[in-house]
Chain A
Amino acid sequence: MTLRLERGTFTTTFTQRLKELSGQDLFTCYQCGKCSAGCPSASVMETPPHAVVRLAWLGQEKALRGLNTYWLCAACLTCDLRCPKGIDVSRIMEALRVMFLRPREEPDMVAPDSLPKDMLSRIPQQALVAGLRKYTK
């Protein structure tokens, strides 16, 4: 696939929104690939995490839409811990999930009372919050 880069791509509303939602300055990424190398889900991802960051950096909303990468992210935070530029990649994945979910007519819902109580204490904070956000659209 040929990526089409146009003037102003770097400041597209998509990239700016992603920065706002994730709170991460993805422009400082120097593409070392450490996030992808340490990611336990990378082998089943269609595009490795560092490439998703690169696509997001270039404002490639179309190329990102429908990728399984950010859905397979388990928010284990290994990438956050190891990123030499201090970027929380998992937050970028979360922001992508939010951005692609929100505009949908019927969002996937997670009802809080459908979660088993003992799971609540073990579930990663980010996964729990993400689930509830889907409920609120």
Chain B
Amino acid sequence: MTRIGVFCCWCGSNIGGVVDLDRVREEVSKMPGVVHAECYRYFCSQPGQQMIEDAIGEHKLTGVVIAACSPSMHEGTFRKAAERAGLNRFHVEIVNTREQCAWVHQEEQEAATEKAIGLIAAMVEKTRQNEPLSPGSAPVVRRALVVGAGISGVQTALDIANGGCEVILVEKEPSIGGHMAQLSETFPTLDCSQCIMTPKMVDVAQHEKIRLLTYSKVEEVTGNVGNFHVKVRRMSAHVDRDKCTSCGICIEKCPVTVTSEFDEGLAARKAIYVNSPQAVPNTPVIDAEHCLYLENGKCGICAKVCEIGAVDYEQADEILEFDVGAAVVATGFDEFDPNLKPELGYGRYENVITGLEMERLCSSSGPTMGEIEIDGKKPKDVVFIQCVGSRDETVGNEHCSRICCMSTTKQAFLVKEKIPDAAVTVFYMDIRAFGKGFEEFYDRVRKKGVVYRRGSVSEIYRKKDRLVVRAEDTLLGEPLDLETDLVVLAAGLVPRHDADDVAKLFKLSRSTDGFIKESHPKLHPVETTTNGVFLAGCSQGPKDIPDAVAQAGCAASKVLSLLESGKLTTEAQIAEVDEERCAACAMCVTACPYDARTLDEERNVAEVDEALCQGCGACVAACMNKACELKNMTTRQIGSMVSQLGDRS
């Protein structure tokens, strides 16, 4: 006989303030099969869980329905509590009365209450028909994939490798370091970015547990948590990486010049190049798009001057395959393109530059050796503009980029250091100096004479060889026209242009700001909607270096605890096949996104690989003969849930 207990959680005032829980309990008590119903302020708390355990024993419950927050929050908590009381965890079901009732119907309390009662009635019906299940286990491959080798990817790779697991670190660019390698000093401590980054880059290259693949892209990811199979395309560098001694003669003699991506277009590079003298690895690559030999067979100088014959025009792309147990996506960000704000004159005036371009100008390894100069002239007046492309709905970016307040403050400081008599003005709307030491640094910079004026710049125009910045000082309520020699736009951080491809590759979701979505903003900040895939750094949202490093460490520890566990509990609520009905049409094989369905051609039936099946139900929908069913989510169960809801409406 089924004996169901229903527990209605207040969730503080989250649910209790909207849904009339006394009435819910009253209605629920009348439902067939329900022998116990109670309400409590926080069922997730220790005493709350104890109440559930006690009730299971006292009322000999065979099923538990908990009306509370989303199952993604506490399903595990409550199932563990039931297990402690001796009930199979799959006899516990959650009704989401918080998100689906209280939160979305805050203004319609009666309707919210009715909806809660209906949803509970449906779930009671389902629970009555639940079967006890036991999850299986699968082995875990003790190797991790890290995608992207900026500071986040580098730190994640080092932490995992130091923990004893192998790492495949894949970077699209010819060398590692990402955006951080481009920076000059870092706020608020003014550590030189190169000085703190380069040793880590070298560690990565030398670590015996890390296989570094630069100039490479992940092309395909199949399989599942614990057992992913990845294909990586190692793009041809047209240089034999083993032979090359990085002497640099090929670069010196190459006749083709191209604007340098690493120097943000402020300097030139050759068609055979390394990003910077500190690049790791230091082996040059040939940019096939611009190489004369690869284009039309003429030139060939680099091959002629290379004494050891490392240049290889015939070298083809390689496809490498790996099995990994977990993956970390650390693909970073793009800088906002200020061409989308035409009134600021970027791209029209050469002395309007972005924050990253300013970093290259300030960097002692940059194109001007750290001198802030435009066309060889040092600016006397410098204007910084905050929030370019951040907090701006007209370009679709509602978010704050978090780093620009402080990176601008740091750059203003550097201008004052390098050109002491320069007049520096920062236009801002709000200064967000939230991090450790940030407010103190902001103070220090203002004491140095940097003028902060509250207001957004409306337009920039040229006047002879200078620029005029037109803004409103909103604190004075006065308009102003400010003549200047250099304008630096604090262009915000936006999702990488290929964020969508990365999301598709790993089956991840993206949040409304376009960055990759974590599975819970507070409690699972590095996990994703795909089990075994984690996030680090700006792929998840804008963050500064300390936050990126902290998140990288967090992702690494999650990866290690997964890989070190050795085996994995597999999903128990999976698909099963009624072999009598199966016609072996293979619709399920095509429908399955996890490669869990195969055809046994001898017996002529479709099979389920229990280790791979995630219980998504795609095969159930695809099956023409109704031969597929999802355990504890059978067609019959769904039918009775729907009829419960139908009876009540």
Tell me if A124 is interfacial: C-beta within 8 Å of chain B.
no
Tell me if B39 is interfacial: C-beta within 8 Å of chain A.
no
For B391, what are the chain A residues with a Cβ–Cβ distance below 8 Å? Answer: 30, 84-85
For B393, what are the chain A residues with a Cβ–Cβ distance below 8 Å? Answer: 84-86
Contact with A84, one of B387, B455, B477 (Cβ below 8 angstroms): B387
- In the complex, A34→B454 CA distance in Å? 11
A31 and chain B: residue at smallest CB distance: B474
Per-position contact with B for A14-53: 1 when CB-CB < 8 Å, else 0?
A: 0000000000000000111111111000110000101100
Tell me if A101 is interfacial: C-beta within 8 Å of chain B.
no
Tell me if A83 is interfacial: C-beta within 8 Å of chain B.
yes
Tell me how far the C-beta of A132 lies from the nearest C-beta in chain B, rounded to whole angstroms: 30
For A34, what are the chain B residues with a Cβ–Cβ distance below 8 Å? Answer: 455-458, 471-472
- In the complex, A77→B347 CA distance in Å? 24
**Contact indicator A31/B470 (Cβ below 8 Å):** no
Tell me if A65 is interfacial: C-beta within 8 Å of chain B.
no
- In the complex, A31→B456 CA distance in Å? 9
For B474, what are the chain A residues with a Cβ–Cβ distance below 8 Å? Answer: 31-33, 36, 50
Tell me how far the C-beta of B513 lies from the nearest C-beta in chain A, rounded to whole angstroms: 15
- In the complex, A42→B456 CA distance in Å? 15
For A36, what are the chain B residues with a Cβ–Cβ distance below 8 Å? Answer: 458, 472, 474, 479
Per-position contact with A for B428-447: 1 when CB-CB < 8 Å, else 0?
A: 01100000000000000000
For A51, what are the chain B residues with a Cβ–Cβ distance below 8 Å? Answer: 477
Tell me if A82 is interfacial: C-beta within 8 Å of chain B.
yes
Tell me how far the C-beta of B164 lies from the nearest C-beta in chain A, rounded to whole angstroms: 49
- In the complex, A83→B458 CA distance in Å? 9
Tell me how far the C-beta of B457 lies from the nearest C-beta in chain A, rounded to whole angstroms: 7
For B472, what are the chain A residues with a Cβ–Cβ distance below 8 Å? Answer: 33-34, 36-37, 42, 48, 50
Q: A48-B472, A48-B479, A82-B343 are in contact. Are A37 and B458 (CB under 8 A)?
A: yes
- In the complex, A86→B455 CA distance in Å? 17
Per-position contact with A for B602-645: 1 when CB-CB < 8 Å, else 0?
A: 00000000000000000000000000000000000000000000
**Contact indicator A32/B343 (Cβ below 8 Å):** no
Tell me if B394 is interfacial: C-beta within 8 Å of chain A.
yes
Per-position contact with A for B457-472: 1 when CB-CB < 8 Å, else 0?
A: 1110000000000111
Tell me how far the C-beta of B632 lies from the nearest C-beta in chain A, rounded to whole angstroms: 46
Tell me how far the C-beta of A73 lies from the nearest C-beta in chain B, rounded to whole angstroms: 15
Per-position contact with B for A51-95: 1 when CB-CB < 8 Å, else 0?
A: 100000000000000000000000000100111111000000000
Task: Count residues of B near A (Cβ-Cβ below 8 Å).
Answer: 21
For B429, what are the chain A residues with a Cβ–Cβ distance below 8 Å? Answer: 30-32
For A33, what are the chain B residues with a Cβ–Cβ distance below 8 Å? Answer: 454-456, 471-474
**Contact indicator B394/A38 (Cβ below 8 Å):** no
A85 and chain B: residue at smallest CB distance: B393
Tell me if B392 is interfacial: C-beta within 8 Å of chain A.
yes
Main SS of the interface on chain A?
Answer: helix
Per-position contact with B for A83-125: 1 when CB-CB < 8 Å, else 0?
A: 1111000000000000000000000000000000000000000
- In the complex, A40→B456 CA distance in Å? 16
- In the complex, A34→B429 CA distance in Å? 10
- In the complex, A85→B429 CA distance in Å? 13
**Contact indicator B394/A86 (Cβ below 8 Å):** yes
- In the complex, A74→B473 CA distance in Å? 22
For B343, what are the chain A residues with a Cβ–Cβ distance below 8 Å? Answer: 38, 82
**Contact indicator B394/A37 (Cβ below 8 Å):** no
**Contact indicator B457/A37 (Cβ below 8 Å):** yes
Report B320-362 residues with CB < 8 Å from chain A CB.
343
Tell me how far the C-beta of A82 lies from the nearest C-beta in chain B, rounded to whole angstroms: 6
**Contact indicator B479/A37 (Cβ below 8 Å):** yes
A32 and chain B: residue at smallest CB distance: B456
**Contact indicator B458/A38 (Cβ below 8 Å):** yes
Q: A30-B391, A32-B429, A38-B343 are in contact. Are A84 and B479 (CB under 8 A)?
A: no
Highest count of chain B CB atoms <10 Å: which of A48, A51, A82: A82
Q: A37-B471, A38-B343, A38-B470 are in contact. Are A82 and B458 (CB under 8 A)?
A: yes
Tell me how far the C-beta of B525 lies from the nearest C-beta in chain A, rounded to whole angstroms: 27
For B392, what are the chain A residues with a Cβ–Cβ distance below 8 Å? Answer: 84-85
For A83, what are the chain B residues with a Cβ–Cβ distance below 8 Å? Answer: 394
- In the complex, A50→B454 CA distance in Å? 13
B474 and chain A: residue at smallest CB distance: A33
- In the complex, A85→B477 CA distance in Å? 20
Tell me how far the C-beta of B430 lies from the nearest C-beta in chain A, rounded to whole angstroms: 7
**Contact indicator A84/B394 (Cβ below 8 Å):** yes
**Contact indicator B458/A48 (Cβ below 8 Å):** no
Q: A30-B430, A48-B472, A86-B394 are in contact. Are A37 and B456 (CB under 8 A)?
A: yes
- In the complex, A51→B472 CA distance in Å? 11
- In the complex, A102→B387 CA distance in Å? 39
- In the complex, A121→B104 CA distance in Å? 48
B471 and chain A: residue at smallest CB distance: A37
For A50, what are the chain B residues with a Cβ–Cβ distance below 8 Å? Answer: 472, 474
For A82, what are the chain B residues with a Cβ–Cβ distance below 8 Å? Answer: 343, 394, 458-459
- In the complex, A83→B394 CA distance in Å? 7
For B430, what are the chain A residues with a Cβ–Cβ distance below 8 Å? Answer: 30
Tell me how far the C-beta of A81 lies from the nearest C-beta in chain B, rounded to whole angstroms: 8
B459 and chain A: residue at smallest CB distance: A38
**Contact indicator A48/B477 (Cβ below 8 Å):** yes
A49 and chain B: residue at smallest CB distance: B472
- In the complex, A42→B478 CA distance in Å? 10
A79 and chain B: residue at smallest CB distance: B458
A36 and chain B: residue at smallest CB distance: B472
- In the complex, A50→B474 CA distance in Å? 8
- In the complex, A81→B474 CA distance in Å? 19
B389 and chain A: residue at smallest CB distance: A84
Tell me how far the C-beta of B10 lies from the nearest C-beta in chain A, rounded to whole angstroms: 29
- In the complex, A35→B458 CA distance in Å? 7
Tell me how far the C-beta of B402 lies from the nearest C-beta in chain A, rounded to whole angstroms: 16
- In the complex, A105→B560 CA distance in Å? 78
**Contact indicator B470/A37 (Cβ below 8 Å):** yes
- In the complex, A32→B391 CA distance in Å? 11
Tell me how far the C-beta of A94 lies from the nearest C-beta in chain B, rounded to whole angstroms: 20
Report B499-521 residues with CB < 8 Å from chain A CB.
none
Tell me how far the C-beta of B340 lies from the nearest C-beta in chain A, rounded to whole angstroms: 12
- In the complex, A82→B472 CA distance in Å? 14
Tell me how far the C-beta of B388 lies from the nearest C-beta in chain A, rounded to whole angstroms: 10
Tell me how far the C-beta of B468 lies from the nearest C-beta in chain A, rounded to whole angstroms: 12
A86 and chain B: residue at smallest CB distance: B393
For A48, what are the chain B residues with a Cβ–Cβ distance below 8 Å? Answer: 472, 477, 479
- In the complex, A132→B485 CA distance in Å? 48
A33 and chain B: residue at smallest CB distance: B472
Known: A33-B472, A33-B474, A85-B391. 15 other contacts (CB 8 A): A32-B456, A34-B457, A34-B458, A34-B472, A37-B479, A38-B470, A42-B479, A43-B479, A48-B477, A48-B479, A50-B472, A81-B394, A82-B343, A84-B394, A86-B393
Can you show 13 pairs from A to B with CB atoms below 8 A apart? A30-B429, A31-B429, A31-B474, A32-B429, A33-B455, A33-B472, A34-B457, A37-B456, A37-B471, A38-B343, A82-B458, A85-B391, A86-B393
9 shortest interchain CB distances as A-B pairs:
A38-B458, A33-B472, A37-B458, A32-B456, A34-B456, A33-B474, A84-B392, A37-B472, A86-B393
